[in-house]
Amino acid sequence: MRIKSLARRLGVRAIAGLPRRTLEKLVPREAIALFYHSIAEKPLPHVRHLYPHKSPSEFEADVIYLKQNYRLPTFSEFVDEMSSPQRPQQPCAILTFDDGMSQCFDLVRPILLKHRVPCSFFVTKCFIDNRELFYRHKVSLCIDAMSAKSAEEQASCSRTLAQRLGLELSSPGDLEKWIKSLKLADESMLDAAGEELGIDFEDFLRTVKPYMTSDQVRQLHADGFTIGSHSVRHARFSELTNAQIESDIVESCSFVGSLLGLKKVPFAFPFSAEGVDRQFLRSVAQRHPWVTPMFGTDGLNIDDLYLVNRLPADTPAGVPQGRSGLKKYVARAYANQFLGSGYTSKQAAIQG
C-alpha cells in the first residue's frame, strides 16, 4: 500500500511538472473556476479553525498570475460561451468568493478594481447585514475561545457542558471534537457551548460585522461584479429533502434578484452539491430558468451542463509572501484528475 501511495505521489509530481498547455491537452477543460472565502492580514478567529486564508498580497499575486496566463471573461461572456456551439480553444479562469464576508468589500474589491479582473460573489441571505452568524463560524469562535483558556478552565467547561446537555465529555479534547461535529440543526447546543466559553455571538455580529451589508453588495454590483446566491442559511444540501433544496435555491436567489433588480441569478451550492440528485436539479433548472448557472465544488470534475465545478483557492499554504501558488496548485489538480483522483466535494465540505 505504501509503495502504491508513493508511486502515485511520484506520478502526480511528474505530471504536474509538465507544461500547462500539455496538461490542458491531457485533461481538456473549457474553464477552471476558483473559489475563495476571505483574505486577511491576520488570522480571523471565526475562520482560522475551519480553513486557511491568504493575505491581500498573496491574493493579488494570484490575480496577477491569472491575468498573465488565462482569459478572464466577464460573467455574462462566460455564460454566453457555455451556451455557444463554438467553444474557445484556450481555457478561461473564473474567480469567485463564497459566503459574503466583509473582507470581500474591504480588501478584495480594491485589488480586483486595480487589476480590472471580473469576479463573482455568492452571498448567503441570512448573513447579509450581519443578521445571523454562520454556525460554522460559531464553531471556530468556540475552538478559538477554548485555546485561550487554561487546562483547568477547559476541563471545567467540559464538565459543565456535559452536565447541562447530557453529554459524555471526559476531556477538553472530547469537547473540541464534539463542537466540530455540530451541524446547523444543533445550533442551540452550539449556542450553549458559546455561552459556557464566554462568547457573545450577538455582540460579535454587532462589533466585528463579519459579513457585507446590503449597501456593500449593491456597490459591488454597481462596480460591475456579479452577485449570486449561496443559499439561505448555508445548510448542507445533502441533509435536506428535495422540496427543501428547491425552496432554499428559489428563496435565496429571489432575495438577490430583488436586492439588485436582477432577472437572472447564479447559484453556488453551500459546502457542495454532493448527494443532491442530478435529475432533480435538472428539473429545478427547468422550472426556474432564471437561476443560472449553478456552481459546485468538485474541482476539475465534469458535471451536468448547468453545473460548473470549482477548485478551492484559499490554499495552498506555505507560499512565499507576495507570490502565487496557483501555478503549482492547479497543475497538481490537473495531474490528480488525469490519474483519476481529482479534488472532491468531500474536501469542500471540510472547508465550509
Check residue 340 and give its pLDDT.
84
Helix, strand, or coil here: 309? coil
Check: CB of residue 255 under 8 Å from CB of residue 229: yes
User: CA-to-CA distance for 130 and 202, rounded, in angstroms?
Assistant: 9
**Distance (Å) of CA 229 to CA 39, 126, 217, 339:** 20, 11, 12, 33
User: CA-to-CA distance for 99 and 116, rounded, in angstroms?
Assistant: 22
Check: CB of residue 248 under 8 Å from CB of residue 237: yes
Mean pLDDT in each 10-residue stretch from start to end of the chain (352 residues)? 74 91 91 95 94 92 95 93 77 96 98 98 98 98 94 90 88 89 94 95 98 98 98 96 98 98 97 94 94 94 88 76 84 91 51 58
Check: CB of residue 234 under 8 Å from CB of residue 138: no
Check residue 233 and give its pLDDT.
97
Q: Using alpha carbons, select from 300, 323, 345 the residue that is nearest to residue 16.
A: 300
Q: What is the DSSP string of 138-191?
A: HHHHHHHHHHTS-HHHHHHHHHHHHHHHT----SHHHHHHHHHH--GGGHHHHH
Hey, how many other C-beta atoms are within 10 angstroms of the C-beta on 350? 11
Grid cell at residue 37: 472565502
The residue with cell 468538485 is 298
Return the domain boundaries, the chain.
2-133+213-351, 135-205
Q: What's the CA angle centered on 143, arms 188 and 229, to 5 degrees?
A: 65
Check residue 9 and give its pLDDT.
83
Classify 288 in phi/psi space as left (phi over 0), alpha (psi -120 to 50) or beta.
Answer: beta
Check residue 342 and give its pLDDT.
59
Check: CB of residue 338 under 8 Å from CB of residue 15: yes
Check residue 346 and give its pLDDT.
47
Check residue 169 and give its pLDDT.
84
Check: CB of residue 95 under 8 Å from CB of residue 37: no
Grid cell at residue 107: 480588501
* Adjacent-strand bridge partners of 157: none
* Adjacent-strand bridge partners of 229: 123, 267
Quick one: 84 exposed, middle or buried, by C-beta within 10 A (0-12, 13-18, 19+)? exposed
User: CA-to-CA distance for 331 and 20, rounded, in angstroms?
Assistant: 7
The residue with cell 464576508 is 101
pTM reported for the whole predicted model: 0.93
Indicate the residue type of 190. Answer: L
Architecture of domain 2-133+213-351: Alpha-Beta Barrel (3.20)
